Structure 1
Amino acid sequence: MSIPIGMELAHTARVVGRAFDERLAAAGGSRPTWLVLLALKQGRTRNQRELAAAIGIRGATLTHHLNGMEAEGLVVRRRDPQNRRVHVLEMTEAGEAMFQRLAVAAREHDARLRAGFGEDELAQLRDLLVRLRRNVDDDASAASVV
């Protein structure tokens, strides 16, 4: 009897995710730190609410991560002068340096994942992963790549 595709995918996701987390840790960071810095770098968000939505982390969990990142000097939070209830986020110089280290780690991890695959195979893999997501997610954004 073959392993159900969902179980195989879940196992693969755990192994790949663990390897990525280890690569980020070796560079001095973590996946939440990478996600926050990447979103800030890409300019997709400026405040905590937008950031939580962009990276898929609940507000309270994000606040916990941001507290640590602010203590490390990676980000600063300021009140939005237009709306004092909103915190605007900015990456510091130390945050930029961390982003660069983690970007190298992310590229190395990606290269490791791509090893032994041709471009046609990678394109097919992307298509298959999108189809799997669409099979279980009715959201129109399921095809978007983070």
Structure 2
Amino acid sequence: MAHSARLFLERRLRAHGASFATWRTLELLAQRGPMIQGELAETLGVRGPTATRGLDRLVSEGLVRRRRLSTDRRKAEITLTETGARLHERLAGVIEEANAALAYGIPRQDLDTLRALLDLVCRNAEEEPDRQVAAEP
């Protein structure tokens, strides 16, 4: 199910010259502001070399800026450029329309319940609880 939704979003984004990976990076930077490259990669769930290649592409497209920190030259701060912010704004509309299409026909109350349940699943995944949970019959 998640795979189908992602492919749907990918097709919509591709029609606007972007990828899902580009969207995720721009969205994260728009929400959180400048980030250290390693933290950005970790948050996106990608390894260093993959993040570096993706960011190199975004830098060359003028969507993000990479700046070495004077306090630690091994670390780079990644920021959204004005061009990146404009693309993010345009893609946010594409994502909003795509999400509306995916949710078509689902009553508002059910969507609210779905969002709450998915938030709970995400919190459980992030917290990696040590508690033993009995499987539901």
TM-score if structure 2 supplies the norm length?
A: 0.82
Looking at structure 1, the residues matched to 95 and 4 of structure 2 have their Cα atoms a distance apart, in angstroms, of 15
* CA apart distance, 1:139: 4.2
The answer as to 2:74 corresponding to 1:85 is yes
Distance 2:78 2:86 in 1: 16
Calculate the aligned-residue CA RMSD, in Å.
2.2
| Structure-1 separation of matches of 2:59 and 2:108 | 40
| Residue equivalent to 1:140 | 127
Quick one: distance in 2 between partners of 1:75 and 1:113? Answer: 29
Mapping 1:41-80, distance limit 5 Å: 41-43=30-32, 46-80=35-69
1:119 maps to 2:108: yes
Does the CA contact (< 8 Å) of 1:40 and 1:90 recur in 2? Answer: yes
Matching of residue 19 in structure 1 with residue 13 in structure 2: no
1:35 to 24, 49, 52: 24
Identical columns (%): 36
Larger RCO, structure (CA 8 Å, separation 6 or more)? 2
Query: How far has the Cα of 1:65 moved from its partner?
Result: 0.5
Q: Distance in 2 between matches of 1:133 and 1:139?
A: 6
Instruction: List gaps (5 residues or longer) in structure 1.
Output: 1-11
**CA, structure 1 residues 25+138, in 2 after alignment: closer, same or farther (shift >3 Å)?**
closer
Distance 1:44 1:54 in 2: 13
* Paired residue total: 129
Q: Which runs of 5+ in 2 are unaligned?
A: 130-137
Q: CA deviation at 1:50?
A: 0.9
**TM-score of the aligned structures, taking structure 1 as reference length:** 0.78
Deviation, structure 1 residue 99: 0.7
